Amino acid sequence: MNGAKKDIDPASELVEEDEEQALPEAEQEPPQAPGTLAAGHAAIARDARHAPRSPGVYRMIDAKGDVLYVGKAKSIRKRIASYTRPTGHDSRITRMIAATASLEFVTTATETEALLLEANLIKRLRPRFNVLLRDDKSFPYILITSDHWAPQILKHRGARSRPGHYYGPFANAGAVNRTINALQRAFLLRSCSDSFFEARTRPCLLYQIKRCSAPCTREIDFSGYGELVREANAFLSGRSRSVQREMAAEMDKASAATDFERAAIYRDRLAALSAIQSHQGINPRSVEEADVFAVHQEGGFSCVEVFFFRTGQNWGNRAYFPKADRALGPGEVLGAFLAQFYDDKPPPRCILVSHEFEERALLAEALCTKAGHKIDVAVPQRGERKELVTHALANAREALARKLAETSSQQRLLKALSETFSLTRVPRRIEVYDNSHIAGSNPVGAMIVAGPEGFRKNQYRKFNIRSTELTPGDDYAMMREVLQRRFKRLMEEIPRIVGGLSSCEAGLRPAPQDGGTGDALDRHPEVLAQRASKDDSPEDDNVDSPWPDLVLIDGGQGQLRAAEETLAALGLIDVPLVAIAKGPDRDAGRETFFMPGRSPFKLPPRDPLLYFIQRLRDEAHRFAIGSHRVRRKKDIREAGLQEIPGIGPTRKRALLRHFGTLKAIERASLPDLANVPGINAETARKIYDFFHERAG
């Protein structure tokens, strides 16, 4: 959410009727040059005539059809009319108006619904002029299932489609795993899958190490296991003290009856519960359920730190670095961030924030409507709640300091990269390519992307090699196919003239077959928009271009030649190419670099730039191997275990009966495989090697 209320003078909400009546006249003005402020005003005035007076959401769209901005309003027509004023806008809004070619509207029944729709559209469309929430991965939860007579405890992400009780969110998977391990020691709930559970004929290792009560083999009866599940749900629901009192009472009762073995079990369970609470960090006494948000700004960047408190315990924290214009204050960034943050997450009953923002009451109303219960969004001024916000603010300050230090270091490395490879400017987008296969089977190409802010994992791409004429294991042909598919599609989606524009400031020009000339480029609307943008804000130099400033290829002279020929065939002669060949015996630190028209060279062994390039290459290698293994495992599942030499239907049934699932067989150690009836040591070795063979 980043409604236009924040972008314009608040008085503009009360636009007079005579101002609206003047809108049709703007349509009679002579056509204006695209990308100018006058053209933007004319386009907005034209569409404002048809804008509804009801609440809703509007989208400002540029000449290419890309959404520039998503905003909400109590009256769409009044809000749109405010953009037609000739003066009174800050530089960001002025640039946005100049780039606008058309508008679209969606009406809603209430302003609350408009706020929720706005947040959803911003996350989906990612408009350039909105505050954008980055790294919006789903949070992990703890799930205690209810669709089996012996409920399972497990980590869960994504949609809550499985019946059961969900507890969270947790800041990261590590926090969930540690908590589940402690909960298993405290409540002895099973964590195995249903298929594994049904296949057991004797208790597994978790029973032996006292982390499961083994309901699979009836080591505990139905009512006893149900009581453990009740206690676990009570503890995670916030009734931890009552659960501990009950356990302590049972321990004392068993001790009084001289049943010391049973008393020791309760003692160990109490110790496990204490371990859970002692590792939570800050555990507030007066805050049972809350999310705490604090924002800190420095150097043109914003950091939002989020702490999660549930059942009176701290369940972790996470730092976010939303993409926002430098002109926006902390309250504006925080308000926009919160609406997007809770777009796909259930809000707690209490949300504590570090800064006041204009639409706090409206956000609380919207979240209340969505959740079905009262939501309090507060800026605490004293007491324990204020201490929690202060603590979150200190963490936000430290996280942003680390981020700025990393960014500064990254900028130095990128500048060194530019100088070493003789680039015409510091690269903002680096693409690294690698292939992975085993003896030519399941070949996969991979592309990773890096820039000033680090790896851009949401822009990684994998390419399943499709060519049927390709010789198995032909790395050159694989690289040709990957690059051809990548750049051919890029040229279709983003015309090469736009790619040339992204390199215009670097002194590059599009290839002759593109038909571009310097004069034509200078007059192109995209150039005008970029220049107008750069005149007012250095932030807009960060606008992402899908065209790479540098392409790194894992390979030697042959891979470089294949890449060069592929791009030349597409008419791309101005894309910088560098191939990285591993050293003798594939030793890191002795890499050789190949570039067109330049002799091969090496970097000093301890050069920070060399470590940086190695990190890029290793990340591409990791992603390529991971993609290959996913494809390979899928083929294995489709073909069955019979692909393994020596495994027929009988041994396959024995393996599945023993382990329950194919995934459990993949994870099994060599001794565990050898313990399966009918599987000797040699066959166990074949199975293990089949699933753990190193991809190359």
**What percentage of the chain carries pLDDT values higher than 70?**
80
Q: What's the pLDDT at 26? A: 43
Please provide the average confidence, as pLDDT, over all residues in the chain: 79
How many helices, marked H, and strands, marked E, lie in the chain?
25, 19
Q: Hey, do 290-402 and 430-494+546-626 end up sharing a CATH topology, with the first three levels equal?
A: yes
Task: Say how many C-beta atoms besides its own lie within 10 A of residue 557's C-beta.
Answer: 12
Q: Encode pLDDT of 556-569 as tens digits.
A: 899 999 999 999 99
* Residues across the chain: 696
Give the DSSP H or E segment for 634: helix 608-639
Residue reference for tokens 């700004």: 297
Q: Is residue 292 helix, strand or coil?
A: strand
Work out the angle at residue 434's Cα, subtended by the Cα atoms of residues 432 and 552, and round it to the nearest 5 degrees: 30
Say which range, 41-50, 55-64, 291-300, 661-670, has the weakest mean pLDDT.
Answer: 661-670
pTM of the model: 0.61
Q: How far apart are CA 210 and CA 125, in angstroms?
A: 50
- State the distance between the two ends of the chain, measured CA to CA, in whole angstroms: 45
Residue linked to tokens 């100088």: 419
- pLDDT band of 169, cuts 50, 70, 90: confident
What percentage of the chain has pLDDT greater than the value 90?
17
- pLDDT at site 523: 37
Which amino acid, one-letter code, is at 454?
G
Q: Tell me how far apart the alpha carbons of residues 142 and 160 are, in angstroms, rounded to a whole number.
A: 11
Measured in degrees and rounded to the nearest 5, phi and psi for residue 220 equal: -135, 145
Which tokens sit at 424? 């015409």
Output helix, strand, coil percentages for the chain, rounded to the nearest 5.
Answer: 50, 15, 35
Q: Which DSSP string do the residues of 483-547 spell out, in sequence order?
A: HHHHHHHHHHHS-HHHHHHHTGGGT----GGGT--HHHHHHSHHHHHHHHHHHH-GGGGG---SS
CATH of domain 430-494+546-626: 3.30.420.340
Q: Is 533 a residue whose pLDDT tops 50?
A: no
Per-residue pLDDT, 6: 42
- Whether 525 shows a pLDDT value over 60: the answer reads no
What is the band of 456 on the pLDDT scale with cuts at 50, 70, 90?
Answer: confident
pLDDT confidence of residue 500: 41
Model pLDDT, residue 137: 65
460, β-bridge pairs: none
648 exposed, middle or buried (CB, 10 Å; 0-12, 13-18, 19+)?
exposed
Domain ranges of the chain: 4-125, 141-278, 290-402, 430-494+546-626, 640-692
- What letters, b where the CB count within 10 A reaches 16 and e where it falls short, cover 406-428? ebeebeebbebbbebbebeebbb
pLDDT given at position 274: 66
Q: Is the pLDDT of residue 589 over 80?
A: no
Work out the pLDDT band at 183, boundaries 50, 70, 90.
confident
Fold of 290-402: Nucleotidyltransferase; domain 5 (3.30.420)
CA angle at residue 553 from 547 to 559, to 5 degrees? Answer: 120
Tens of pLDDT, residues 342-396: 887 888 889 999 999 988 889 999 889 888 888 899 999 988 889 899 999 998 9
For the segment 215-244, the average pLDDT, to the nearest whole number, is 83
Residues sharing a CB contact under 8 Å with residue 341, sequence separation 6 or more, in sequence order: 133, 136, 306
Q: Which residue is associated with the tokens 């593109």?
A: 514
Q: Is the pLDDT assigned to residue 264 strictly greater than 50?
A: yes
Q: What letter would DSSP give residue 54?
A: S
DSSP-derived secondary structure letter, 4: G
Range picked from 164-168, 214-218, 464-468 for highest mean pLDDT: 214-218
Does pLDDT of 81 surpass 80?
A: yes
CATH number, span 4-125: 3.40.1440.10
Could you say which DSSP state residue 5 is in? G
CA–CA dist 525, 101 (Å, integer)? 11
Q: Give the model's pLDDT for residue 7.
A: 44
Mean of pLDDT values over 534-542: 40
Contact between residue 199 and residue 660 where contact means Cβ atoms under 8 Å apart: yes
CA 487 to chain centre: 25
Distances in whole angstroms, Cα of residue 653 to Cα of each of 44, 640, 650, 672, 675 = 69, 11, 5, 16, 14
Q: In the structure, what pLDDT confidence band is assigned to residue 4 with cuts at 50, 70 and 90? A: very low
Strand blocks (E) in 74-213:
102-107, 141-145, 153-156, 164-167
In angstroms, the CA 687 to CA 679 distance is 10
Distance CA 577, CA 20 (A): 55
Burial of 96 (0-12, 13-18, 19+ CB in 10 A): buried
pLDDT in the model for residue 528: 37
Average pLDDT value for residue range 294-320: 85
**pLDDT band at residue 282 using 50, 70 and 90 as cut-offs:** low
Asked whether the predicted pLDDT for residue 300 surpasses 70, the reply is yes
Order of strands, sheet of 56-61, starting from the edge strand that comes earlier in the sequence: 67-73, 56-61, 102-107
Of the candidates 228, 137, 131, the one whose C-alpha atom is nearest the C-alpha of residue 189 is 228
Question: What count of Cα atoms within 13 Å lies in the side-chain half-sphere of residue 310?
Answer: 21
DSSP string, 556-588: -HHHHHHHHHHHHHTT---S-EEEEE--GGG-T
Task: Specify the fold of 640-692.
Answer: DNA polymerase; domain 1 (1.10.150)
Full DSSP string of 167-235: E---SSHHHHHHHHHHHHHHH--B-S-HHHHHH-SS--HHHHTTS---GGGTSS-HHHHHHHHHHHHHH
Per-residue pLDDT at 483 = 92
- Do the beta carbons of residue 430 and residue 449 sit within 8 Å? yes
Task: Output the pLDDT for position 666.
Answer: 77
What would the pLDDT profile of 404-427 be if each residue is shown by its tens digit?
Answer: 877 788 888 899 999 999 998 899
Going by C-beta distance under 8 Å and a sequence separation of 6 or more, which residues neighbour residue 283? 277, 312, 313, 314
Written as one letter, the residue type at 34 is P
pLDDT in tens, 457-489: 888 998 888 776 777 767 888 889 999 999 998
Evaluate whether 549 touches 425 at the Cβ level (below 8 Å). Answer: yes
